[in-house]
Structure 1
Amino acid sequence: MSTLDTLKLSSAKKPMHLPQIVLRRNKLSNKLWEQIQLAKSQIEGTTFVVKKYKSVVDKETGLRKQVEVPKRIREWWFKNEQGKVCVAIRYGSQVMELAKGKTSIEVESAQALIKALELVKQAVESGELDTQINGASANLLKGFGK
């Protein structure tokens, strides 16, 4: 018996391009992960830093080089008039409308904020918010057409 006989072989091929909605889901899912990590770090009293690369020109040599800099991450949550924590889900600079006329999620505490963000992340990854993501993306693209 061959070693390959123990594996389940298939004729599936890797797709050349991912569908647009999958790319948008991944983008929002990554941003939600950043928000979850930011909230966890604030509860623990630590700092959360994501690094990104920035291209700069060296003044001495005139050559372009990549420099690692911290990425600025803004909190999506705020306190409302009653003192409860609310979080608005953003796609780019657009606040997403989660339900008709509802743009934020109200929670009781910071722990509940993390749970709410994780639930939204699961909903995004399972495709439950595809229509809202497409709407926010369309509104975002309108701003570039000016």
Structure 2
Amino acid sequence: MSTLETLKFVSVTKPTKLPAVVQRRNKLSDKLWEQIQLAEAKSAGTSYAPLKTKRLKDIEGNIKILEVPKRIKPWWFTAQNGKSCLVVRYGSKTLEISQGKSTIELDKPDELIHILEMIKTAVEAGELDAQIERAAGLLKEGFAK
């Protein structure tokens, strides 16, 4: 028996693009991963700044590609009562996770990473698809002017 005979061959075509719901889920999941990395770095006392490429033209017209740190804004803040709060964003819009409520209050600042991981799992499972769709619609309206 040859090695190739042990493999299972099928006739399948690769999809040209993912459905919009899956693309939006993946986008939010990636942003949540960045927030988790940022929160872990803050709790460890270090900084997290991934690099992005930037194209610049010099005086002679030559294009140079530079790697610059990407600015990531934290989604959490300290409220007036002293407790930490977390807001989940899709683009520039805040997701309304519960009816009429978009902020998650944390009992301890140490739970931030755990809560972000829980939200990431919920997003990947499709539990927030309706909220993501609503936020994406609001973002589209802003570009239609």
| TM-score by shorter chain over 0.5 | yes
Aligned residue pair count: 145
Rounded to whole Å, the distance in 1 between the matches of 2:10 and 2:114 is 38
Q: How big is the shift at 1:83?
A: 1.6
Counterpart position of 2:107: 108
With normalisation by structure 1, the TM-score equals: 0.93
Normalising by structure 2, what TM-score?
0.94
Q: Cα distance, 1:109 vs. partner?
A: 2.4
Identity of aligned residues (%): 52
Unaligned runs of 5+ residues in structure 1 are none
Runs of 4+, deviation exceeding 4 Å: none
Written as runs of structure 1 = structure 2, the 5 A alignment for 1:1-146 is: 1-59=1-59, 61-146=60-145
- Report the Cα distance in structure 1 between the residues aligned to 2:108 and 2:5, rounded to whole angstroms: 53
Conserved in 2, the CA contact under 8 Å of 1:32 and 1:121? Answer: yes
SS of the counterpart of 2:69? strand
Instruction: In structure 2, list runs of 5 or more residues that go unmatched.
Output: none
| Displacement after TM superposition at 1:4 (Å) | 2.4
CA RMSD of aligned residues (A): 1.2
> Which residue identity does 2:9 align to in structure 1?
L
